[in-house]
Amino acid sequence: MFDLRDLASASRVGPFELATRLLPHYVPNLGVRLSAPGLTVAYTGDSGPSPERDGYC
């Protein structure tokens, strides 16, 4: 079962803090960052180098 969420703002998913950031691309593209105590995982899909991404990953 899926739980649809508005990804425009930070939220919690279980023990994780979920944050997103709009990345430069020709179509809407979000980077996702999941954080929990002692662990952070970031994922960016199809995007190139950019200052907007620095410090996020």
pTM of the model: 0.62
Q: What is the pLDDT of residues 15-57, one digit of tens each?
A: 889 888 887 777 777 888 899 999 999 888 766 666 666 665 5
pLDDT for 39 equals 92
pLDDT for 50 equals 65
The total number of structural domains that make up the chain: 1
> Which domain, by its residues, includes 25?
11-43
Is there a domain that residue 49 lies in?
no
Are 17 and 36 in contact, with CB atoms under 8 Å apart? yes
Residue with tokens 């662990």: 39
Rounded CA-CA distance 41/43 in Å is 7
Is there a domain that residue 4 lies in?
no
